[in-house]
Chain A
């Protein structure tokens, strides 16, 4: 049975898509626009979501005309917003800006994607909010991009990929976190890689299945990095949201991280609270993919292990295939937990959702 969401649910992870590079050109500065043509640059479609993979787009959400899934507002309204009674959905555009090697080129593409997002989506659909795309390859340029959009309250988050060139806790990235905290923007960390390192810590896998599964390990590593490096000590008001990360790994990971934190605190003395406490105050995770056990009771045990009903934010991960029909919420979750995931937790996480937008 499809759980009926109370009116006003907030979907924290949907993926409106760039239909093609030509659609970005009007939003791109020179000389980059000219370079696209002169150099014959292709779409920035990374291998993180192969175009025809079943996971990349649920079969019944694929457009009949073979256009890029989720690339038109009509599709997104019909498949992602209307069926769930969504009051607000946060658009996390996955376009391979972060995988470019040139910092300047990446920054130019990030600007173009954000302009395109504002003009083609946010201006036209009041239920949408968006993440600011930045290229963490160049932290100073990323800060410039955050400041370009900080005044626009429809942007509620800064988006990073879980696997880039360096661990996300490293000090080189702190200017990004400083700016996000200053402007009341969350940091969203989404599944996906720049592929500047192998996708697993033991090298390049053979199958896409392994690449996708390994995203959970990447999230574990990055959560470890941000906690150990002291990001949350330096920026105590920063909210970090793990997107399309899965969440059933979280309790066991915190057990292990806490054990080594206890044993090795002399190495990272600034981490003055247990990792689980830091997660409860600063880190949130999106619902889909649930990656849950097959039975309801075990899933409820996982929620029990998390020891908080404030960590999970409702998401459909549209158009990725994580569930069928409108069954975005696993059966059998208590109504008050569902209410928190769909309404209260997103509002508590994204300060800007409480503000009126023009």
Chain B
């Protein structure tokens, strides 16, 4: 984490194990790249009023990042533009040398969770068309996410069904800091549509739901925001289980993205223990919380926990299941996990295969 400039690997890609990357962040070189898919009304409103989120700043995240765009300082494309905005440079710096055979695009900062929901709907659709035009058509290793305006679940379900037969789109994309806990019935149309079209729902850290970032109020530091994504996702996952989303949509798959995974065993044990005592209020649950989680939840790996000694990480993965983790780099962000060094455990060939690509092939649609 926080390496200032990495040596680009020079090993011939063909000699390396092919990997999947469950968390790649493409960005626009120019804001106007969305324009072909935005009505004039939205182009004008965005120019006049901006894209107001449920936080204080016009053009910045709630907590200042530790480096520009929270990205690797060596990830600026040589031709200019922000990190993650150049396909040729992404290919040269990441996809080719790391032999990424399958890269999942998770666009951030596009228009999810805006105060103006109609604007959010318009921007999310533009994002989806843009992914196809700028990324998945030119590079067939990349697959897109259906970015949904999740605070309007009906519109989101419509957007999901729009891409039902489009093989370039392999997951539905939400952010974890929702305005209500993720299991709330408000969001059920999203899960219903995702299950119907056979896409997993990926839940990525971040978002501005309008709630304080802890149940004790807003913390002071970016460090706390980053650590806190894990707590937000734990509460979101608990909600999905307890409110019965998994029970109601048994074919639904959820992927928890960029909020760690080692917290999952403890949360699962706590859910089981609490549910055994309190199940009177949740008759819609017919199995232990842990059973729904074991069958229907996956996690991407970055930023990988780094216990000392590292062998403790193996315990955590054993508890979660080696079939449930999807390797991810978070390229081009600052806390990028390098596939060559980020899992310093002695693992079997079968575990390596599952961790670096097999699990991804099992969870994403049609890959």
- Residues of A whose CB lies within 8 Å of any CB of B are 53-55, 162-170, 193, 197-210, 212-214, 216-218, 220-222, 224-225, 228-229, 246, 248-249, 251-253, 255-264, 266-268, 289-294, 298, 301, 304-305, 321
Q: Are A167 and B66 in contact (CB under 8 A)?
A: no
| B278 pairs with A55, CB closer than 8 A | yes
CB pair B178 A203 closer than 8 Å: yes
Assembly CA distance A73 to B278 (angstroms): 28
Q: How far is the CB of B267 from chain A (nearest CB, A)?
A: 7
Once the chains are docked, how many angstroms separate the CA of A263 from the CA of B275?
Answer: 37
Shortest A338–chain B CB gap in Å is 20
Q: Which chain A residues lie closer than 8 Å to B211 at the CB level?
A: 197-198, 200-203
Question: Is B262 a contact partner of A221 (Cβ separation < 8 A)?
Answer: no
Distance of A206 Cα from B236 Cα, bound (Å): 12
Are B177 and A201 neighbours in the complex by a CB distance under 8 Å? yes
Interface residues of B in 270-316 (CB under 8 A from A): 270-275, 277-282, 303, 305-307, 312-313, 315-316
B274 touches A228 (CB 8 A): no
Q: Given A197-B215, A255-B306, do A305 and B312 touch, yes or no (CB 8 Å)?
A: yes
Query: Are A203 and B216 within 8 A (Cβ)?
Result: no
A207 touches B215 (CB 8 A): no
Cβ-defined contact, B262 with A291, below 8 A: no
Contact A205 B215 (CB under 8 A): no
Q: Is the CB of B266 within 8 A of A163?
A: no
**Are B269 and A262 in contact, CB atoms less than 8 angstroms apart?**
no
**Can you pick out 15 interface pairs between chain A and chain B where the beta carbons lie within 8 Å of each other?**
A165-B216, A198-B215, A199-B215, A201-B211, A202-B179, A202-B235, A202-B236, A217-B231, A221-B215, A222-B214, A228-B224, A252-B266, A293-B265, A298-B315, A305-B315
CB distance from A268 to the nearest CB of B (A): 6
Q: A163-B215, A209-B275, A221-B213 are in contact. List 14 more A-B contacts (CB 8 A).
A: A167-B218, A167-B219, A197-B215, A203-B184, A206-B184, A206-B239, A209-B279, A228-B223, A246-B270, A253-B230, A255-B312, A257-B227, A267-B222, A321-B277
Q: Which residues of A contact B278 (CB under 8 A)?
A: 53-55, 207-209, 212
> How many chain B residues touch A (Cβ–Cβ < 8 Å)?
70
Taking the closest CB of chain A, its distance from the CB of B303, in whole angstroms, is 6
Given contacts A207-B242, A225-B219, contact A201 B235 (CB under 8 A): yes
B179 to chain A, nearest CB (A): 6
Partner of A255, one of B262, B265, B277: B262
Q: Is the CB of A166 within 8 A of B66?
A: no
C-alpha gap A135/B300 in the complex (Å): 42
Q: Which 10 A-B pairs have the closest CB atoms?
A: A252-B262, A221-B214, A200-B235, A255-B305, A217-B231, A263-B2, A249-B266, A263-B1, A248-B266, A163-B215
Residue of B nearest to A290 (CB): B273
B354 interface residue, CB < 8 Å from A?
Answer: no
Is the CB of B160 closer than 8 A to any CB of chain A? Answer: no
Residues on A with C-beta less than 8 A from B2 are 262-264
> How distant is the Cα of A138 from the Cα of B158 in the complex, in angstroms?
50
A95: min CB distance to chain B, Å? 19
Contacts of B316 in A (CB 8 A): 252
* Chain A residues whose CB sits within 8 angstroms of the CB of B274 once the complex forms: 55, 209, 212-213
Are A264 and B266 within 8 A (Cβ)? Answer: no
Tell me the complex Cα distance, A218–B211, Å: 14
What's the Cα separation between A262 and B219 when bound, in Å? 19
Q: Looking across the interface, which residue of chain A has its beta carbon closest to that of B279?
A: A209
B277 to chain A, nearest CB (A): 5
Q: Please indicate the chain B residues that have their CB under 8 angstroms from the CB of A197 in the complex.
A: 211-212, 214-217
Q: How far is the CA of A193 from the CA of B277 in the complex (A)?
A: 21
Q: Is B37 an interface residue (CB 8 A)?
A: no
- Using A205-B239, A218-B216 as known contacts, say yes or no to A248 and B222 having CB atoms under 8 A apart: no
> In the complex, are the beta carbons of A214 and B312 less than 8 A apart?
no
Chain B 209-248 per-residue mask, 1 if CB under 8 angstroms from chain A, else 0: 1011111111111111011101110111011001100000
A193 contact set on B, CB distance < 8 A? 215
B152 at the interface (CB under 8 A from A): no
A301/B239 in contact, CB under 8 A: no
Choose among B220, B267, B315 the residue that contacts A228 (Cβ–Cβ < 8 A).
Answer: B220
The answer to whether A267 touches B223, judged by C-beta atoms less than 8 angstroms apart, is yes
For residue B123, give the distance in angstroms from its CB to the closest CB of chain A.
Answer: 22
Q: How far is the CB of B337 from chain A (nearest CB, A)?
A: 11
The contact string, 1 if C-beta is below 8 Å from chain A, for chain B 1-17, is: 11000000000000000
CA distance A292 to B263 in the complex (A): 13
Residues of B with C-beta under 8 A to A201:
177, 211-215, 228, 231-232, 235
B303 interface neighbour in A169, A208, A259, Cβ under 8 Å: A259
Residues from chain A with a CB closer than 8 A to the CB of B306 are 255, 258-259
Which one of A55, A165, A294 contacts B277 once the chains associate, using CB atoms below 8 Å?
A55
Q: Does B180 make an interface contact (CB < 8 A)?
A: yes
Question: Nearest CB to that of B230 among chain A residues?
Answer: A256
B181 contacts A by Cβ under 8 Å: yes
Residue numbers in A under 8 Å from B275 (CB-CB): 209
Most chain A Cβ neighbours within 10 Å, of B306, B307, B319, B335: B307
Contact A216 B1 (CB under 8 A): no
Chain B hits for A252, CB < 8 A: 260, 262-263, 265-266, 305, 316
B182 at the interface (CB under 8 A from A): yes
**Interface flag for B176 (CB, 8 Å):** yes
User: How distant is the Cα of A173 from the Cα of B205 in the complex, in angstroms?
Assistant: 30
Of the candidates B180, B183, B270, B313, the one whose C-beta lies within 8 Å of that of A216 is: B270
When chains A and B are docked, how far (Å) is the Cα of A261 from the Cα of B221? 11
B260 and A221 within 8 A (CB): no
- Whether the pair B269, A167 counts as a contact (CB closer than 8 A) is no
Q: How far is the CA of A218 from the CA of B228 in the complex (A)?
A: 10
Complex Cα spacing A255 to B280, Å? 35
B residues less than 8 Å from A298 (CB atoms): 315, 319
In whole Å, how far is A228's beta carbon from the nearest beta carbon of chain B? 5
What B residues does A168 contact at CB under 8 A?
216
- Which residues of chain B come closer than 8 Å to A209, judged between CB atoms? 242, 274-275, 278-279, 281-282
| Most A CB within 10 A of own CB, among B213, B224, B316 | B224
Q: Across the interface, do A293 and B319 meet the contact criterion of CB distance under 8 Å?
A: yes
